[in-house]
Amino acid sequence: MSDTLNAPVPPQSLPIQYKGRKDLLGQSRVRLEQVAKTLNLPAGICDRLFAPHRVVQTFSPVRMDSGEISVFPGYRVEHSNILGPYYGGIRFHHEVDLDAITALAYLRTLQCALIGIPFGGAKGGVTVDPTQLSDGELERLTRRYTSDMGMIFDPKKDIPSPDVYTSEREMAWMMDTVSVNHGYAEPGAVTGKPLSIGGTQGNTEASGRGVAMVVEEYFRRADKPLKGATVIITGFGKIGRVAAQLLQRVGAKIIGVSDRSGGLYDADGIDVEALWQHMLAGNDLGTFKAAGAMPEDELLLTETDLLIPASLSCQITRSNAEKVQAKLIVEGANMPITPEADNILGRRGIPVVPDMLANAGGVIVGYFEWVQDNNQLFWTEEEVVDRLRTVMMRAYGKVHERAGRDGQTLRLAAHTEALRTLVEAATIRGLYP
C-alpha cells in the first residue's frame, strides 16, 4: 500500500509519545501497531490515523448555589471526519482527562468505520463529580460547557451524545443551548434526546440491546444454547441493565451483577426485573436482599459461561487475567481489557468479543436519530430495532468471517476491518493541501 498519506509532521506534535505507557491512549497505540503489521501500513499513515484532527479545551465558570464561582475544565477531541461528521459522547466524571478522552475518540472512529455508518469519532467531557452538584448547578455547567464549545458543536460538523453520567436531560439542555445560540431549533445538534424534542424510539435500550444481539449471534454461530447459560455483568447501567433484562428473557441465567454501590451473586439466578424495580424505588443495587453480596473484583473472577464487563475501562488487567474463569467475554464498556490481559486471555483460549463491535448499538441508534431529525421523518420502535439488528449483524458477519479466514482473534479482525475502511477512505480523499 502506497504511503500517500505520510505528511512531514514533526514527531513531537503527534501523540506517539504515549507509546509504552499503560493508559488508554498507550493501549490504543499498541493495538494500532499490531494491526499495522498485519496490513503493512507505513508509519506516516499510522500517525495520521492515530492523531486527532482537533483538540479543544475549555475552562467553564459556573455560579454555584452558594453564590461562589467554580471553574470546570472541559474537553472535546475531534478525532476524525474522514467518513463523516464527528460524533461521540459527553461524559461528566471526576477522572475525565485529555488522554482518556483522546483514546475514546479514536475508538469511536474505528467503531463507526467497522459498523459502516458515515460518522467520524469524537469524545468530550467535563472533569467533575456530578453527584456533588445540585440539578441547577448541573444545568448551568452543561449549558456553559455547550456554549463554550459553540464553535464546533453543529449538526453538520460535530454531534454530541450521552455518555457516563449524562442522559436525556443533559442532551435536552445541550440541544436547547445550541438552538438558542443559533436562533432556531436544532434537533439534530445532539442525539440521545427525549422523544418530545426529536429523540428516537429505542434509544434508551440501544447499547444494551446491541450487546444482547451480539451475545445471541455468538451463541448461534457457535451452535451453543443460550438458554440456561450463566452470565455475570459488571456495571448495571445503560448497557449492563438492559443486556441483563434481554438475556434473561431469552433464558440466560444472570448469576452476578454489580455497580458502584456493590455486587450481587446467586448461583441459582438473580431476578433482574425485581432488582430493577428495587432500584427504581430509589434503593441501591447493593441493598437487594434476594441475592448474596459479592464485590465486583470477585465477580470478575467467578466461574461463568459469559462475562460482560460493562462499567469503566481497564477492569481486566495483567494482574487478574490469569484468574478469570469465564468461558466467553463480551465487552460492554469501552476498553475494559488491557492489551496485556488480552494476550493472557488469548493464550488461555478465552474468546473476547471486542467493545467496538459489542457496544455499537448506541452509536447506530444515535445515527438513526440524527437521520430522522434531519429528514423530519420518524420511525417506529419496531423499525428502529429491525434496522439496528441489520447493521449489527452485518458488522458481526464481517468480523466473524475475517477472524475465521485469517486465523485472527475477533478483536484483531474488528480492528483490521475498521482500519482497512479508514485507510481506503483517507487514500481516496487524499491530503490537502
Instruction: Tell me the catalytic residues.
Output: 123
Query: Could you tell me which residues come within 8 angstroms of residue 29 by beta carbon, excluding any fewer than 6 positions away?
Result: 15, 16, 18, 19, 50
d(CA 171, CA 194): 8
Q: Residues 202, 208, 210, 211: what is their CA dihedral angle, to the nearest 10 degrees?
A: -170
The DSSP line for 9-44 is --GGGSGGGGTT--SHHHHHHHHHHHHHHHHT--HH
d(CA 79, CA 82): 9
By C-alpha distance, which of 301, 285, 318 is closest to 232?
A: 301
Q: Reduce the DSSP state of residue 296 to 3 states and report it.
A: helix
By C-alpha distance, which of 121, 113, 127 is closest to 54?
A: 121
Q: Are strands 158-162 and 352-353 parallel, antiparallel or unpaired?
A: unpaired
d(CA 186, CA 180): 9
